[in-house]
Structure 1
Amino acid sequence: MANISMMQVPLICHPQSDAGGAEGIQVVISRSDSGKVELTYGVLGSLEAVEIVAPAAPERVDELWKKTCFELFVGNIEDEIYLEYNFAPSGQWAAYQFSGYRADMAELETEVPDIQTEENESVLNVSVKFQLPDAWRGRALLAGVSAVIATKSGDFSYWAVAHPPGKPDFHHRDCFALHLEARGTL
């Protein structure tokens, strides 16, 4: 039997950004003892104003945050090392590792995540499944779940579980507001 933890969290729009047609974002996150992470981002609102890139090949692409993009930051409790994952509704993705706050960014070697998108006029669901690196699987982690919503008019809104003071900054440790318990096998 797998040992799985699951939680549902709302994302909050940064006070210095306009929601851009999104009325709310809910995220369901689960983590299994095998290191598998599953996320489902649910965006509710007037989606005709939101820029959603058409499906593309599921490949690694930098600067996904310049369009509508969903993100997960995973940090160690013991040190400042953290991982950043970016998932686009198009199926494109990126993954990076940092030694500290925005320091020593390097591409993270990882399997291609499975990204599935469903949308209609009022709901955009982006579901993602991927494996954490071996060294991250059995430890307690801090997580920051976030989203960048781009509008067709060129505006952006920034959503996260928690925001630091000042401008939007998902890399800031204040955004790592979720505690993911260490996973062990049963």
Structure 2
Amino acid sequence: MANISMTETALQCHPLSEKGFVNRIALQVDRAEGGRLHIKYVLHGLIDDIHFPKAAQPERTDGLWKDTCFELFCGRGDHGSYVEFNFAPSGQWAAYAFTGYREGMTELPCAPPHINCTAGEGIFEMTVTMDLPESLRTVDVMAGFSAVIADRHGRTAYWALAHSPGKADFHHKDCFALQLEARSAA
């Protein structure tokens, strides 16, 4: 039987964010052996008011955070380095490695994640299946899950597991609020 760790929680809206068009964002994370993650973001709100990027070729694309996208930041708790993944409803994605807080950014070599989206009355779901980078596959990691949600009226809401003081900053270690324990074959 596979050794899997499942966590269910909710993201919090940043206190300085625009409010009113997103009611809640739930998160489910499954970490399987080998560093594979299954992530499910469930957004509840005024779905017709949210600006979702149009479906596109599922390829690596920069600047996804400028529109509606979901994110994962993670790294070892004892290191300053970390990685960032962006997942857009368009199917596009991005992955970066940092040597320290917003420093030394490089494109992270990785396999493309699998992104699937569904929408209904008052609900939008994005599921992502991805592999952590080799350096994080067999160790515990601290993770920050977040979302940038843009609406059709130019408002933006910033959601995360936890927020640092001041403006929204998903790179800040205060946002790395969930420990994902390493799993091995059992």
In the alignment of these two chains, the number of paired residues is 186
Match of 1:52 in 2: 52
Question: Contact between 1:20 and 1:155, CA under 8 Å: does it hold in 2?
Answer: no
Task: Give the drift of 1:19.
Answer: 2.6
For residues 1-186 of structure 1, the aligned pairs below 5 Å read 1-186=1-186
- TM-score of the superposition, structure 2-length normalised? 0.97
Task: Give the drift of 1:81.
Answer: 0.8
Q: Residue 65 of structure 2 aligns to a residue in which SS?
A: helix
Question: Contact between 1:20 and 1:149, CA under 8 Å: does it hold in 2?
Answer: no
Q: Residue 34 of structure 2 aligns to a residue in which SS?
A: coil
Identity fraction in percent: 47
Question: Contact between 2:31 and 2:37, CA under 8 Å: does it hold in 1?
Answer: yes
Give 1:72's aligned amino acid: L
Task: Give the drift of 1:184.
Answer: 2.2
Whole-Å separation in 2 of the counterparts to 1:52 and 1:69: 8
Whole-Å separation in 1 of the counterparts to 2:65 and 2:19: 16
RMSD after superposition: 0.9
Whole-Å separation in 1 of the counterparts to 2:66 and 2:19: 16
- TM-score of the superposition, structure 1-length normalised? 0.97
Task: Give the drift of 1:9.
Answer: 1.1
Whole-Å separation in 2 of the counterparts to 1:112 and 1:75: 19
Give 1:32's aligned amino acid: A
Q: Which digits, 9 at most, give the CA deviation of each residue in 1:41-60, with x for residues without a partner?
A: 00001111100112111001
Task: Give the drift of 1:20.
Answer: 4.8
Whole-Å separation in 1 of the counterparts to 2:46 and 2:60: 29
Where structure 2 has 5 or more consecutive residues not aligned to the other structure, the ranges are: none
Q: Which digits, 9 at most, give the CA deviation of each residue in 1:81-137, with x for residues without a partner?
A: 101000001100000000110000000001111000001231100000011122211
Q: Which digits, 9 at most, give the CA deviation of each residue in 1:157-176, with x for residues without a partner?
A: 00000000000000000000
Question: Contact between 1:70 and 1:148, CA under 8 Å: does it hold in 2?
Answer: yes
